[in-house]
Structure 1
Amino acid sequence: MSLTYRVQNPVNNEVVEEFETATDQQIQDVLAASAEAFKSWAKTSYAERAEILNRAADLLRERRAELAKIAAEEMGKPTPAGEWEINFAADIIQFYADRAEEHNADTPIEGVEGGKAIMRRLPLGPLLGIMPWNYPFYQVARFAGPNLMNGNTVILKHAEICPKSSAAIADIFEEAGLPEGCFINVYASHDQISTIIEDPRIQGVSLTGSERAGSAVAAQAGKALKKCVLELGGTDAYIILDSDDIKQAAADAWEKRIENVGQACTSNKRIIVMSDIYDEFVDEMVRIAESYKRGNPLEPGENEYYPVSSRQAAENLDDQVKRAVAAGANLRTGGELDEKGAYFSPAVLTDVPVGSESFYEEFFGPIAEIYSVDSEEEAIALANDSHYGLGGAVFSTDEERAKRVASQVETGMIHVNLGQAFSAALPFGGIKNSGFGRELSTLALDEFVNKQTFYVND
C-alpha cells in the first residue's frame, strides 16, 4: 500500500500540495547512494564532520521563522512553538558536534594479561530513521545528529504529512556541506520501508511513532538481524501529592498537557491528585480549559488552542473520548470536534475506570485525564498500572517526599517538582511498551556503533 505524501492544512483539512511517492528504482538508487557515501564519510575526521554539523545548526537557527511556518501548515504547530523546537534541534546537533570525538575516543581495557587492548567505536553504515510528525525537526535532529557524527549515513523516512519539513532538513544539510548521499530524504511506501530494512546495506533502524508501528518495524528488523531503537509513546503519570497553591498547580499541569496541542509522547496524560485537593484542582482545570478559544497556528495569540495534526487524528480523539464516557468516564468540559478541520476543543476527563480499555490508551491530544487517590501507595500503584513507561513527574512541597515517590515510578525518565526538563544532555527513552534504546545525551552515540575490541599481543 502506498502512502500519500502531502501538505494538508489541519486548520481546514485542505490539501495544499502533494508529493510523489518514490519508485522502487528510486529506493534502490537511495540505498546505493547511501552505501557509497558511507565509504568516504566513515573516514572523514571528527573535526570535518563537526564543522558541517555546526553549520547545519546555524542554518536551522537562521531559518527558524521560515521553517516554523512550514510546520504550522503541515501539522498545526503554532509558530512560536515551532521556532522553539527548531532552536532546540540546532542545540542537539551542536551538542553532538562538540562531544562526539571525545566520547568516541579509544578506551583502554584494563586487567588484560599477555597483551594490550582497547575498545574502539566505529561507524556501522547506512541507517534508516522513521520519524513522526509531532516534532518534525527535533525528532530528526536527535536521530541524525549523533549518527552523522559517528560516521554513519542516514536515510530519512518522515511522516507522510511532513514532506516539506523533511525536504527542508535535507536541503539544510546539503547547504551546510554534507557530502551527497550522507543524508537522504525519501518518500517511501510501507512496502518500500520493508525493502529498505531488509536490504543488507542497511545496518540499523530507529523509529519514533506508535506502538503498532514499532512492533511492525521491530519484527522486520529482527527478522533481518538489524538493531533498532524504538520510542513508542506513553501515558505518563503526573503525581501531585500536595500543593500550597492549587490554582498554580493546575495552571502548571495544564501548560504541560496543552504543549504541542497535547501531542507529545511525554505529555502528562494521567494527572494523579491527592483526594484532599482533587475537587479544587479539577474545578480549576475545567475553568482553564473553558478559557481557551480557537486560534490560528500561523497567527497565534494568548489562551488559544490549535488543531491537532490531521482530521483523522481529531476523529480518533473524538472516538476515544466517546468510548471512555461509555465506559463510565465523566467528560467535565470540551471534547468538541470541528465540523471540517482538525480542531478538538480542550477537554477535562475524570473517573476513567481503572483497568478499562480507555484507561490504558494514550490520548494524543488536548485532553487532561485526572485521577483521585488517597495515599502515596495508591498513587504509585496507579502510576505503574500502565503498558507504557516513558516519562513522568512527582510534585510536593516536601522534596524528600516527592523523591521517595518518584523513585518507585516505573519509567525511563522521572522528574521531581518539574513537568519535564529539556536538554540535549539528558537521556531520552522508556521501558515496557514505550520502546527501548536511548536518544539524546552521549548514550545516543553508543546505539549504532561497532564497539570493537582491538587486542595487541605482547
Structure 2
Amino acid sequence: MEATNPATGEQIATYDEDDEGDIEAKLRTAQSTFEEWRDVPLRERERLLENAGEVLRENKERYARLMTEEMGKPIAQARAEVEKCAWACDHYAEYAHAYLADEHHPSPPGTEVKTVHDPLGPVLAVMPWNYPFWQVIRFAAPYVTAGNVGLLKHASNVPGCALALEEVFEEAGYPEGVFQTLLVGSSKIDGVLRDDRIRAATLTGSGPAGRTVAETAGNQLKKTVLELGGSDPFVVLDDADLEAAVETGVTARTQNGGQSCIAAKRFVVHTDVYDEYVDRLVDAFEALTVGDPTAEETDVGPQADPDLMAELHEQVTQSIEAGATVVTGGEPLDREGAFYPPTVLTDVPEGCPADTEETFGPVATVYEVADEDEAIDVANDTRFGLGASLWTDDRERAQRLAREVEAGCVYINQMTKSDPRVPFGGIKDAGYGRELSEAGIKEFVNRKTVWTE
C-alpha cells in the first residue's frame, strides 16, 4: 500500500497490507476488548476521549503535514481539521453522559419503565481520504464513547493517516483493541463485514460503495449508517447579501480543493442579482492562489489523485460539449502535480455531467432562476439530498423555504458544514442515518426497554 504526494507525484512511503491472519487477530482482539470495554464507566470513557483531544492538539503540526503530504490538503486547512477533531473529542467528553442518559416513560403506579443505551459491539468504519482525520474522529468519538469498539478501513491513499489515528487512541491511554486500523484494500471489506463479530458498519464514500456495504450488512441484519455524497445547492435569492454570499460561496466550493461531499456545487441564483453575482464569483475564483499545499498562502492545493482529476476534467469536458459555457478555468494546470483550477460553468444543459453528477473538485455550476419557486425546483432537481445553503435577508422567508428543500440539512446565510453539536446526514442517494450530536451517538446502541414491576 503506497502513499504518494499528489502535488509532486513522489512516493512518500510503502506500507505492508494486513493479511488474513492479521485481520483475524484484530477481529479477535476487538471482540475480547469489547467484553471489557463495555463495562468501563462512561465517565472514564469520557476522560479518555478528553485525552485524545489533547493528543491531537499536541501533535497538530505533524498530523496536518501528514494529511497535506498524502492527499494534498492546504496546510492551514489541515491544521484546522486537526483542531476540529479535538473539538469533537471535547464535545463528547462533556456531553456523552447527557446524550446517553436513561429515558423514563409513563408507566402504571408502582412500576418504573425506562430506555437504557447499551453498546452493540465492534463497529466497522469505511472512511474516505478527503477529510482523513475528521471523518474518522466523527465516527470514533461518539461510538467508542458509547461503549463500542472500532475497526477502521481507511482509504488506501492515506495509510499514514490511518496509523496516526490509531496512535491517537493509544497515546490517550485507551485499552488495546478499542480502536484498530485495518490496512486492507476494498476487496477485503465484504469478508470483514460478514464476520459475526462485526455488529454494525458506517461508511462515508461513493454511492456504489455504500450500496455494496448496505447489501452485505442487510443480508446479515446489521445496522448501517451511510453518507454517500451530494450535489448541494447554494441558493442566492434577490434580497441576499451578495458580498457575504460570494465570500462564503467561494469557500464552500473550493476549500479542500473542492473535494467535499457537502461543498456548494450548484449555485442557484435569482435573475435580479445573477449577472452581478457571477461577475463577483468569477473574480473571487480567479484571485485564489492555487499551488504548493505546504505554503501558508495557498488556497487550493492539488486534487488528491491524478486519476480523480482526470475524471473531474472529463465531467467538465462532456458538459462543455453539451453546451455549458466556461467562464473561468476548465483545463488542468500545466505544471507538475494534479492541479485543477477553480472553474465556473454557466448555461449548464439539463442532463450533462455537471448537472446530474457530483463534481468532486473546484467546479461551480451556476443556474439563473426567475423566482423562489424555480429556485427550489432547481435545488431539488438532483438524486442527492445531503445539504443546502440558502441566502436571503428575510428570515421568515428563509425558514419557509428551508422546509421545501429536500436535504438532510439546510444552512441559512451560512455554508453547509458538519458540527458535533448538530445531527449530520442526508436523504435520497446521499445515504441514511445521522452522525454527530445525540442522534449520532445513538445510531449504534441498543435502545433497551427496562420495565421494573
Q: Structure 2 length as normaliser, TM-score?
A: 0.96
Cα distance between partner residues in 2 of 1:391 and 1:246: 21
Cα distance between partner residues in 1 of 2:240 and 2:229: 32
RMSD: 1.6
- Deviation readout 1:69-88 (Å, 9 max, x if unpaired): 00000111111111111111
Q: Is the 8 A contact 1:243 1:249 kept in 2?
A: no
Q: 1:42 aligns with which of 38, 41, 45?
A: 38
Q: Is the 8 A contact 2:107 2:113 kept in 1?
A: no
Letter in 2 for 1:270: R
Kindly indicate whether residue 57 of structure 2 is the aligned counterpart of residue 71 of structure 1. no
Q: Is the 8 A contact 1:254 1:368 kept in 2?
A: no
Letter in 2 for 1:186: L
Letter in 1 for 2:321: A
Q: Structure 1 residues 338, 118: CA separation in 2 closer, same or farther (over 3 Å shift)? A: same
Further displaced range: 434-443 or 282-291: 282-291
Q: Is the 8 A contact 1:391 1:414 kept in 2?
A: yes
Q: 2:332 aligns with which of 328, 334, 337?
A: 337
Deviation at residue 452 of structure 1 after TM alignment: 1.0
Kindly indicate whether residue 173 of structure 2 is the aligned counterpart of residue 177 of structure 1. yes
SS in 2 for 1:127: strand
Q: 1:213 aligns with which of 203, 209, 213?
A: 209
Letter in 2 for 1:66: R
Q: 2:142 aligns with which of 128, 143, 146?
A: 146
Letter in 1 for 2:184: A
Q: 2:263 aligns with which of 267, 283, 288?
A: 267
Kindly indicate whether residue 151 of structure 2 is the aligned counterpart of residue 155 of structure 1. yes
SS in 1 for 2:273: helix
- Deviation readout 1:182-217 (Å, 9 max, x if unpaired): 110111122321111000010000000111111111
Deviation at residue 428 of structure 1 after TM alignment: 0.5
SS in 2 for 1:294: coil
Q: Is the 8 A contact 2:239 2:394 kept in 1?
A: no
Match of 2:116 in 1: 120
Letter in 1 for 2:413: N
Aligned residues: 452
Unpaired runs of 5+ residues, structure 2, are: none
Q: 1:309 aligns with which of 304, 310, 335?
A: 304
Deviation at residue 407 of structure 1 after TM alignment: 2.0
Deviation at residue 247 of structure 1 after TM alignment: 4.7
Q: Structure 1 residues 24, 288: CA separation in 2 closer, same or farther (over 3 Å shift)? A: same
Q: 1:86 aligns with which of 82, 85, 88?
A: 82
Match of 2:237 in 1: 241
Q: Is the 8 A contact 2:241 2:391 kept in 1?
A: no
Q: 1:373 aligns with which of 366, 369, 375?
A: 369
Kindly indicate whether residue 20 of structure 2 is the aligned counterpart of residue 20 of structure 1. no
Cα distance between partner residues in 1 of 2:310 and 2:420: 34
Kindly indicate whether residue 27 of structure 2 is the aligned counterpart of residue 31 of structure 1. yes
Q: Is the 8 A contact 2:245 2:413 kept in 1?
A: no
Q: Is the 8 A contact 2:248 2:414 kept in 1?
A: no
Deviation at residue 377 of structure 1 after TM alignment: 0.6
Q: Structure 1 length as normaliser, TM-score?
A: 0.95
Further displaced range: 385-394 or 281-290: 281-290
Further displaced range: 103-112 or 32-41: 103-112
Letter in 1 for 2:24: Q
SS in 2 for 1:337: coil
Cα distance between partner residues in 2 of 1:438 and 1:90: 20
- Deviation readout 1:427-452 (Å, 9 max, x if unpaired): 11010010011001111111001111
Match of 1:291 in 2: 287
Deviation at residue 95 of structure 1 after TM alignment: 1.3
Cα distance between partner residues in 2 of 1:272 and 1:442: 32
Q: Is the 8 A contact 1:128 1:154 kept in 2?
A: yes
Cα distance between partner residues in 2 of 1:291 and 1:350: 19
Further displaced range: 197-206 or 271-280: 271-280
SS in 1 for 2:409: coil
Match of 1:393 in 2: 389
Q: Is the 8 A contact 1:35 1:126 kept in 2?
A: yes
- Deviation readout 1:246-274 (Å, 9 max, x if unpaired): 45532331122111111111111011001
Letter in 1 for 2:379: A
Q: Is the 8 A contact 2:355 2:365 kept in 1?
A: no
Letter in 1 for 2:332: L
- Deviation readout 1:66-109 (Å, 9 max, x if unpaired): 11000000111111111111111111122112222232222222
Deviation at residue 289 of structure 1 after TM alignment: 2.1
SS in 2 for 1:283: helix
Match of 1:131 in 2: 127
Cα distance between partner residues in 1 of 2:448 and 2:287: 58
SS in 1 for 2:250: helix
Counterparts of 1:306-455 in structure 2, within 5 Å, are 306-338=301-333, 340-420=336-416, 423-455=419-451
- Deviation readout 1:158-179 (Å, 9 max, x if unpaired): 1111111111111110011100
- Deviation readout 1:114-135 (Å, 9 max, x if unpaired): 8432211101100100111111
Cα distance between partner residues in 2 of 1:425 and 1:273: 30
- Deviation readout 1:23-54 (Å, 9 max, x if unpaired): 01111111001001001000100121111111
Letter in 2 for 1:259: Q
Counterparts of 1:50-65 in structure 2, within 5 Å, are 50-65=46-61
SS in 2 for 1:305: coil
Cα distance between partner residues in 1 of 2:140 and 2:364: 33
Deviation at residue 455 of structure 1 after TM alignment: 1.9
Q: Structure 1 residues 400, 333: CA separation in 2 closer, same or farther (over 3 Å shift)? A: same
Match of 1:279 in 2: 275
Cα distance between partner residues in 1 of 2:248 and 2:97: 39
